[in-house]
Structure 1
Amino acid sequence: MRTISTDLDRALTLLQGGELVAIPTETVYGLAADARQPDAVAKIFALKGRPADHPVIVHIAGKDQLQDWARDIPDTAWRLAEAFWPGSLTLILHRQPGVSDAVTGGQDTVGLRAPAHPLTHALLERFQGGLAAPSANQFGHVSPTTAAHVYSEFGDRVPLILDGGPCQVGVESTIVGLTGDTPSLLRPGGVPREAIEDLLGLRLEHHEKPSTAQVRVSGLLDSHYAPRTPLLTGPLAAIAVEAARRGDAGERVAVLHHSPTHKLAGSSEDHAMPGEPEAYARDLYATLRDFDGGRFDVLLLETPPQSAAWLAVNDRVKRATSQWLG
């Protein structure tokens, strides 16, 4: 039977039997297992090469399941779930006693999200439980935004990859911590910070460094979302200098830019990134994967704009970059 399909019945059978299924979400594809089966969740960690203390997000159908997984749920959580679920928002809450250390990394907190992708939403409604589902890629590598990306990572080692087409958001969910006195932005993502702050009528604390966050959450390591080809990032002027230097040395250089420019000296191939943050986010991982196939010795990426609308993009670029220029 084909690894890639849209067979929800087979997906349910596999998940209930403790097997892995790759699922589409509006953000990125996830590698899913029944969050109530620690042995099944352990298969995620083994296949990804993920550290055992790195928590995973539990995906649920909607806010009606919040109390199955979390306790002492503040009013802010209900308001955020009502406004942004299903959608690209993960809430960090105190876990119920029965929630396994396998999904929490041994912490007293759990991350919960109700994804908006119609195929996975239908799966979750039928599953009537929670799916632990980090991104469906080797730990630290560029996240997948198509079923083909997942297959390129794992092949037939994943029994089933549900094909939901290209992800429409393209970067991971926003993570908001709700276990302290003040809600905090732990990871920028698909839901803009400003939309959350407008809803709550307050400014979110923002822990830009993982070491300053009170809890460990997905995707906050300094190096993450990274292509295997070295990715160097800087302003266009610095990119131009580096492209010329490396081209003169005989290296194969790819330049990824958003500013209008002619082909740079020394560049083997130039690629224009979108000029709008939503489109840029949607294309970022797919572009990095496309240029990470061994055709180039180095990828040079022009630094994205630094305005608030680009917060999630800049977070992912910062963690994917191996060296800053300029």
Structure 2
Amino acid sequence: MLKVRKVDPLYPDMAAIKEASDYIRQGYLVAFPTETVYGLGADSLNGDACLGIFKAKGRPPDNPLIVHIADLKELNRVARDIPDTVLRVITKAWPGPLTLILPKSSDMPKEVTGGRNTVAVRSPAHPVALALIRSSGVPIAAPSANKSGRPSPTLAEHVVEDYINDNVDMYVLDAGPAFFGVESTIIDVTKNPPVLLRPGPFTLEELRSLFNVDIVVPEFARGLGEADAALAPGMKYRHYAPRTRLVVTECSDYGSLIRLIHDTVIDYLNKKLRVALLITKETADVLATYPELSDIPVIMMGYKEDPYTIAVSLFDSLRSLDRINVDIGIAEGIEERGIGLAVMNRLRKASGFSLVKCKS
């Protein structure tokens, strides 16, 4: 059964933290907030407990988990043979939304790593997450706390929505909205130069400055196709998807994008399909001038001029699409700059790569 406990995001009640950490130590699951999304955690040193994550989520067994630590002194329990250049990056970037792929320690069970010789590890920048890890006394393995394939949870209510009908023992720490709204950036530092596996709040521009080298960006990191192997979460399998069909419109020119969204809506309306729009406030204001679109439901995704507002609301917007009675959602693509790269990675994957682009 689910046990939900509200806590302050900055000054959590330590009695609640202690109760949640007891769940971790006893091999049960805890859903907890990080600065990115809510995670579904278990004792990373307990392979059976980690199997509970896969069972609850319906997660493929070769899809590795991210191990969360609170202090750098815990890193050697998780990883080994870490170059000094990477340690210098860690001291600058952690705690924060940056996950590194490192050679795994002998303590890491295969359930955590997907049977690989590497491990994904980070230190979350959220007081509740850090308090939980410290109270538990073990690094915590935690993917996002959604059902596999569904939009990630940025609210405790999203976690409850996914698991309320399941017979699973889970403690949920409800600390309100996650700060960034998209999962951590993942970079493979076992490769030279480093390879971006999943974009996130730690932007590509910031990574290049931090590592002082160019970063390899495969097409799958942009959300254009899947990777051949699940080297890290979010790579190989379909993720973030609403149950409602979704298409993503993309144009480099804003005026052309407006026309593309308009024409795409009209095309689906002519096919007798019920349509909803997932668009920015600026685009909603423009499309409101078209009387033929006046009855189309609009889910506001934030502001085009502030892509962080889009990231924060993205997964809730995708979940909202399933709450309205439509056949298809049409999402507005944004520029792949800063956190926009992470937004487009998620949108493209959520649509199953169903993209409508301007003709060049």
Classify 1:2/1:182 alpha carbon distance in 2 versus 1 (closer, same or farther; 3 Å).
closer
Matched residue, 2:276: 254
Matched residue, 1:238: 260
Instruction: Read off the aligned partner of 1:306 and give its amino acid letter.
Output: E
Aligned pairs for 1:1-326 (under 5 A) are 3-5=3-5, 6=7, 7-155=16-164, 157-209=168-220, 216-221=231-236, 223-234=238-249, 235-258=257-280, 259=283, 260-263=285-288, 265-266=292-293, 268-273=296-301, 274-275=303-304, 276-322=306-352, 323-326=354-357
Counterparts of 2:272 and 2:228 in 1: how far apart (Å)? Answer: 43
Instruction: Read off the aligned partner of 1:302 and give its amino acid letter.
Output: E
Per-residue CA distance 1:240-275 (angstroms, 9 max, x = gap)? 122123334443211122234233535531234322
CA RMSD of aligned residues (A): 2.0
Between the two proteins, what is the percent identity of the paired residues? 37
Please list every run of at least 4 consecutive aligned residues from structure 1 whose deviation after the TM superposition is greater than 4 angstroms. 210-215
Counterparts of 2:207 and 2:296 in 1: how far apart (Å)? Answer: 42
Counterparts of 2:237 and 2:146 in 1: how far apart (Å)? Answer: 17
Contact preservation (8 Å) 2:98, 2:184: yes
Counterparts of 1:212 and 1:154 in 2: how far apart (Å)? Answer: 28
CA drift of 1:117 comes to: 1.1
TM-score, normalised by the number of residues in structure 1: 0.94
Farther off after superposition, 216-225 or 22-31: 216-225
SS in 2 for 1:283: helix
Contact preservation (8 Å) 2:30, 2:170: yes
CA drift of 1:53 comes to: 0.8
Unaligned runs of 5+ in 2: 8-15, 250-256
Per-residue CA distance 1:103-128 (angstroms, 9 max, x = gap)? 00000000001111111111112222
Counterparts of 2:135 and 2:326 in 1: how far apart (Å)? Answer: 45
Contact preservation (8 Å) 1:186, 1:213: no
Counterparts of 1:308 and 1:123 in 2: how far apart (Å)? Answer: 30
Contact preservation (8 Å) 1:253, 1:300: yes
Contact preservation (8 Å) 2:62, 2:230: no
CA drift of 1:309 comes to: 4.6
Counterparts of 1:251 and 1:201 in 2: how far apart (Å)? Answer: 50
Counterparts of 2:204 and 2:85 in 1: how far apart (Å)? Answer: 15
TM-score, normalised by the number of residues in structure 2: 0.85
Contact preservation (8 Å) 1:207, 1:213: no
Instruction: Read off the aligned partner of 1:108 and give its amino acid letter.
Output: N
Contact preservation (8 Å) 2:193, 2:213: no
Instruction: Read off the aligned partner of 2:258 and give its amino acid letter.
Output: L
Counterparts of 2:21 and 2:339 in 1: how far apart (Å)? Answer: 38
Unaligned runs of 5+ in 1: none
CA drift of 1:217 comes to: 0.6
CA drift of 1:79 comes to: 1.6
Classify 1:212/1:14 alpha carbon distance in 2 versus 1 (closer, same or farther; 3 Å).
closer
Instruction: Read off the aligned partner of 2:240 and give its amino acid letter.
Output: Y
Farther off after superposition, 14-23 or 272-281: 272-281
Farther off after superposition, 278-287 or 1-10: 1-10
Classify 1:309/1:131 alpha carbon distance in 2 versus 1 (closer, same or farther; 3 Å).
closer
CA drift of 1:139 comes to: 0.7
Instruction: Read off the aligned partner of 2:72 and give its amino acid letter.
Output: K
Counterparts of 1:213 and 1:89 in 2: how far apart (Å)? Answer: 23
Contact preservation (8 Å) 2:194, 2:216: yes
Farther off after superposition, 223-232 or 269-278: 269-278
Counterparts of 2:71 and 2:233 in 1: how far apart (Å)? Answer: 20
SS in 2 for 1:126: helix
Instruction: Read off the aligned partner of 1:27 and give its amino acid letter.
Output: T
Counterparts of 1:178 and 1:269 in 2: how far apart (Å)? Answer: 44
